[in-house]
Every structure is written in C-alpha cells, then in structure tokens.
C-alpha cells in the first residue's frame, strides 16, 4: 500500500490512513499513471511540513 504523510512523519496510523491509500489507488486507476509521476518535491515538502 501507500504510506500516508502522518504515518511517515509521526508514526500515527488510523482509518484515515486507509482512506489515503484508497484515494491514491483510485487516482492511479482514473489517471492511468503510477503515483511516482505525481511527485513534486517542492510541494511535497511544504505539504508534509504542515
């Protein structure tokens, strides 16, 4: 599966983590692209910093 930002940074896991993983999979299916093509380093760092 895919690791949500709150688990990667703080080790917190909840049912919201499952929703995150499901959303990533749906995004991949709809777009026809793997998650790695959505990666934007500058945006990701800002998002994880909040």
Q: What is the pLDDT of residues 1-50, one digit of tens each?
A: 677 777 777 887 887 778 888 888 888 889 888 776 555 555 554 444 44
- Looking up tokens 């998002």, which residue turns up? 47
Residue 20 in contact with residue 4, Cβ under 8 Å?
yes
Q: Tell me which long-range contacts 46-50 makes (C-beta under 8 A, separation of at least 24).
A: 47/5, 48/5, 48/8, 48/9
Position 28 scores a pLDDT of: 85
Position 46 scores a pLDDT of: 43
- Looking up tokens 């777009």, which residue turns up? 31
Which tokens go with 37? 């093509």
pTM equals 0.54
């Amino acid at each position: 599966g895919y690791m949500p930002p709150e688990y990667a940074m703080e080790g917190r896991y909840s049912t919201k983590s499952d929703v995150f993983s499901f959303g990533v999979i749906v995004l991949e299916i709809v777009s026809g692209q793997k998650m790695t093509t959505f990666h934007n380093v500058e945006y990701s760092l800002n998002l994880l910093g909040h």
